[in-house]
Amino acid sequence: MTRPDSLPHSVIKAVLRATQSVATPFWLYETEPMRERVQQLEKFDVIRFAQKANSNIHVLSIFREMGVLVDAVSLGEIERALRAGYTPGTLDQEIVFTADIIDESTLIRVIELGIPVNCGSLDMLMQLGQIANNHPVWLRLNPGFGHGHSHKTNTGGPFSKHGIWHENIADALRLVDKYGLNLIGLHMHIGSGADYTHLRQVCGSMLEAVKQLDRPISSISAGGGLPVPSRPGEPEIEIEEYYAAWNETRIEIERIIGDKICLEIEPGRFLTGNAGLLVAEIRAIKKIGDNYFVLLDTGFNELARPILYGSYHEIVFLKRSGVLVTGPLKSIAVAGPLCESGDVFTQNDGGIVRFRELPMPQVGDLAIIRDVGGYGATMSSNYNSRPLAPEILLDDGKLTIIRQRQSIEQLLDLEVRGKAF
């Protein structure tokens, strides 16, 4: 798949059609890029979607129909996977629960459903083992290093809370034996948006971890973190090269263990990131000094990635007639409506506002924020008491609302129905 440098005409038409029925802001997802991403990874034995990137039940159902399995990181995500049609407790592990802690209600549910647990802490192994002998488990290991597109998305190394530290593998195995747990696999994930060099290093760390085992396993997971392009001309990761590196590692592990190994990959934003748009309306334009602020009817209550990570998202302006805004370039920052100075879509990782050279739109034009299909709607909030925006699916030219806009009444209902205890 190659990310198009400009929005396809079919997508622009879909955006305009959607605005005739749904008020802004709203999310729009294309199914075609998702399917193309899945096809890119088809050489891996298992593609396990990290649904925290986009957990809409309809999106999960599309992946399930393509044979993609699912990872869950909370009780809510387990229930979403079930609602999307995934079957728990199967031999091919359609659902795996991954976390660094497990609360009581989730613990009861994974045992009830027979869902394998990917344990990121020694305490998880102990808490699970105390009430569920022979339960299937993975070990999520921290290899001692990490990398991501932001220091906040780094999930490995001594400054990350994630995973069992690589020097504690023996302690983990003792707990597995003490409680009779069924160890089926090892998992490593070093960060979201990691570069190829760091991703490649995980292969060696996985091999070293396997050498410390005194027992066979059936699976290894390369984790996720595959980067996706977000700027015109930005290169794609070489999937063939990445798979070849992991396949070599798998073959060596099979030699050590003396049995076949299932090779999993756990993409999240890689599958959905380029497939999503956030569509908003321009409500005000301000001239501040020599710069301009274009203010939208959506903010970090919808898209939090810029304020959290300084993530870059291309923004284009569209006339209601369907013509992209063109003309002389001005120094423009694009921001939202929230009562927060940090509610700016064009900022860097340190929170410094960045002005982009963009053509000047008019109030009433549309702003389309690209590449937001991963960690967009799933990270939304009700900040400033703003209802959650609707989600729309574009599949084979047909538009379907797959999440209704939350109403203010729904937002308030949990509070007005409180009761004393």
pLDDT for 312-329, tens place per residue? Answer: 999 999 999 999 999 999
What is the arithmetic mean of pLDDT over 151-158? 59
DSSP string, 295-341: EES--TTT--HHHHH-----EEEE-TTSPBP-SSEEEEEEE-SSS-T
* Packing angle, helices 57-65 and 31-40, rounded to 10: 40
pLDDT for the residue numbered 147: 57
pLDDT for 337-384, tens place per residue? Answer: 999 999 999 999 889 999 999 999 999 999 999 999 999 999 999 999
pLDDT for the residue numbered 324: 97
Reply yes or no on whether the pLDDT at 192 is more than 80. Answer: no
Whether the CB-CB separation of 113 and 93 falls below 8 Å is answered with: no
Cα distances (Å, whole numbers) of residue 120 to 38, 136, 150, 241, 336: 27, 14, 21, 28, 37
Token pair of 235 as six digits: 């290169």
Reply yes or no on whether the pLDDT at 155 is more than 70. Answer: no
Gap between the Cα atoms of 238 and 346, Å rounded: 29
Token pair of 140 as six digits: 């999520």
Token pair of 48 as six digits: 């396990």
What's the one-letter identity of residue 70? V
Among the four given CATH numbers 2.40.37.10, 2.40.50.140, 3.40.50.2300, 1.10.357.10, the one describing domain 273-414: 2.40.37.10
Query: What is the model's pTM?
Result: 0.94
Does an H or E element contain 363, and which?
none
pLDDT for the residue numbered 141: 93
Alpha helices in 152-280 (DSSP H): 169-178, 196-211, 239-257, 269-272
pLDDT for the residue numbered 150: 53
Return the CATH architecture of domain 42-266.
Answer: Alpha-Beta Barrel (3.20)
Token pair of 365 as six digits: 């034009």
DSSP string, 5-52: SS--HHHHHHHHHHHTTSPSSEEEEEHHHHHHHHHHTTTSSEEEEEGG
pLDDT for the residue numbered 349: 87
Angle at alpha carbon of residue 240, lines to 260 and 149, rounded to 5°: 105
pLDDT-based confidence at residue 251 (cuts at 50, 70, 90): very high
pLDDT for 203-222, tens place per residue? Answer: 888 999 999 998 999 999 99
Gap between the Cα atoms of 226 and 210, Å rounded: 23
Q: What is the CA radius of gyration of the chain?
A: 23
SS3 label, residue 227: coil
Reply yes or no on whether the pLDDT at 418 is more than 90. Answer: no
Show which residues are catalytic.
339
Whether the CB-CB separation of 220 and 185 falls below 8 Å is answered with: yes
268: closest CA among 83, 30, 52, 93? 52
pLDDT for 275-284, tens place per residue? Answer: 999 999 999 9
Look at the block and give the residue holding tokens 């504690």. Answer: 168
Higher confidence at residue 188 or residue 387?
387
pLDDT for the residue numbered 202: 84
Gap between the Cα atoms of 191 and 209, Å rounded: 19
Whether the CB-CB separation of 400 and 391 falls below 8 Å is answered with: no
pLDDT for the residue numbered 172: 97
pLDDT for 26-55, tens place per residue? Answer: 999 999 999 999 999 999 999 999 999 999
**In the chain, where are the structural domains located?**
42-266, 273-414
pLDDT for the residue numbered 237: 87
pLDDT for the residue numbered 91: 87
Cα 197 vs. chain centroid, distance in angstroms? 21
Find out whether the peptide bond into 229 is cis, omega within 30 degrees of 0: no
Reply yes or no on whether the pLDDT at 153 is more than 60. Answer: no
Gap between the Cα atoms of 282 and 304, Å rounded: 19
38: closest CA among 271, 274, 268, 222? 271
What is the arithmetic mean of pLDDT over 266-272? 96
Phi, psi of 292 (to 5 degrees): -120, 145
